[in-house]
Amino acid sequence: MLAERLPGLLPPLSRAEALEVTAVHSVAGTLPPGHPLVERPPYCAPHHSATMAALIGGGSGLPHPGAVSVAHHGVLFLDEAAECSGRVLDAMRQPLESGHVVVARASGMMRLPARFLLVLAANPCPCGRHGLSAAGCECRPSSIRRYRARLSGPLLDRVDLRVTVQPLTRSELSALEGSAESTATVAARVREARERAAARYEGTGWTTNSEVPGHALRKRWPVVTGALRAAEEDMERGMLTARGLDRVLRVAWTVADLAGHGRPTAADVGCALELRTGVARGSTLSGVGRAR
Ligand SMILES: [Zn+2]
């Protein structure tokens, strides 16, 4: 449900983005009837049994855009991600890094845009009850390990936010009703943050934090002095790769943009580290809405 709401939180597509997305959907044959121009970020949720061609693109005859391209400038949601084929999941590493896929066929090569927000959902174990106190999990430790290993390290290294979601009881759920923010309220906050980022990168060709290469980000837009210390210590201890450090930095900029900070502070970096590892470190996640 959260993944489905995500496109509603993203700003409408720019004219150039809308034309790109419309072109892909036209080729894929997924253009919604009566909508000559796709103006909202698309949402694509392929089944976990999706083949390589369905997810990445290809097929016999003329190459067909895959889900990674249909979700271009939008959200790609893989439910039960640990049930997907490991080969198919690992093939997503290229578009996640470069923002495009190259589909090779006997009839020729096709380069398709594939810059999407990836959401993976997975159970903690095959039965789904591991870690819950009320209902016991009966999975063997070896089968839990095998299950989790399907999401490979290199793929998870490209996942910036990890959130553990506990099931809610009926009374907890009804207590939350009424206090929840509307999609429009959160979308307004996202739009403001995106505008701050776009203003900062004006004239560079980049508009969002996720597009800026790590070296450019570090050189041209430094964080508050010493703010990266915790992340650098994690790297020295081998808990964070160089790519991971760049990704933490980009998330820290997004946290700062949401909070209205001119530059990421140590708390913003701490928040990005917590979101990346899914482990609380005592920083307040107030800036990104947990407390709001
Ligand atoms: Zn289990």
Q: What CATH number does residue 119 fall under?
A: 3.40.50.300
Q: What is the pLDDT of residue 287?
A: 41
DSSP state, residue 155: H
Q: How far apart are the first and last CA of the chain?
A: 20
Distance (angstroms) between ligand 1 centre and the Cα of 89 equals 22
The model scores a pTM over 0.85: yes
Distance (angstroms) between ligand 1 centre and the Cα of 102 equals 38
The amino acid present at 230, given as its one-letter code, is A
Q: What is the pLDDT of residue 134?
A: 59
> Same structural domain for residues 12 and 149?
yes
Distance (angstroms) between ligand 1 centre and the Cα of 81 equals 16
Q: What is the pLDDT of residue 8?
A: 93
> Same structural domain for residues 157 and 199?
no
Distance (angstroms) between ligand 1 centre and the Cα of 37 equals 45
Distance (angstroms) between ligand 1 centre and the Cα of 135 equals 10
**Count of C-beta atoms within a 10 Å radius of residue 177:** 7
Q: Which of 130, 159, 175 is at the close of a domain?
A: 175
> Same structural domain for residues 95 and 67?
yes
Question: Are 57 and 110 a contacting pair, CB within 8 Å?
Answer: yes
Distance (angstroms) between ligand 1 centre and the Cα of 131 equals 8
Ligand 1 is an ion; residues with CB less than 5 A from it: 125, 127, 130, 137, 139
- CA dist 18 and 38 (Å) reads 6
Helix (H, G, I), strand (E, B) or coil at 266: helix
Distance (angstroms) between ligand 1 centre and the Cα of 271 equals 30
Distance (angstroms) between ligand 1 centre and the Cα of 142 equals 11
- CA dist 113 and 100 (Å) reads 4
**Token code pair at residue 183:** 């999609």
> Same structural domain for residues 109 and 40?
yes
Q: What is the pLDDT of residue 288?
A: 44
- CA dist 135 and 89 (Å) reads 30
**Count of C-beta atoms within a 10 Å radius of residue 220:** 11
> Same structural domain for residues 168 and 187?
no
Question: Are 49 and 230 a contacting pair, CB within 8 Å?
Answer: no
Question: Are 224 and 266 a contacting pair, CB within 8 Å?
Answer: yes
> Same structural domain for residues 170 and 233?
no
Q: Which of 115, 149, 175 is at the close of a domain?
A: 175
Distance (angstroms) between ligand 1 centre and the Cα of 143 equals 9
Mean pLDDT by 10 residues, the chain (292 residues): 91 94 92 87 94 87 88 95 88 90 81 94 88 78 88 85 84 81 92 96 94 93 93 92 92 96 95 88 51 31
Distance (angstroms) between ligand 1 centre and the Cα of 127 equals 4
> Same structural domain for residues 187 and 171?
no
- CA dist 124 and 193 (Å) reads 32
How many structural domains are present in the chain? 2
- CA dist 1 and 102 (Å) reads 31
Distance (angstroms) between ligand 1 centre and the Cα of 134 equals 13
Q: Which of 159, 175, 191 is at the close of a domain?
A: 175
- CA dist 291 and 284 (Å) reads 8
> Same structural domain for residues 37 and 166?
yes
Distance (angstroms) between ligand 1 centre and the Cα of 258 equals 37
> Same structural domain for residues 137 and 234?
no
Distance (angstroms) between ligand 1 centre and the Cα of 5 equals 28
**Token code pair at residue 181:** 């923010």
> Same structural domain for residues 62 and 205?
no
Helices 242-259/229-236 angle, 10° precision: 160
Distance (angstroms) between ligand 1 centre and the Cα of 144 equals 7
> Same structural domain for residues 46 and 145?
yes
**CB under 8 Å, gap of 24 or more: what pairs does 134-141 form?**
none
Q: What is the pLDDT of residue 280?
A: 73
Domain range holding 167? 2-175
> Same structural domain for residues 52 and 124?
yes
Distance (angstroms) between ligand 1 centre and the Cα of 94 equals 32
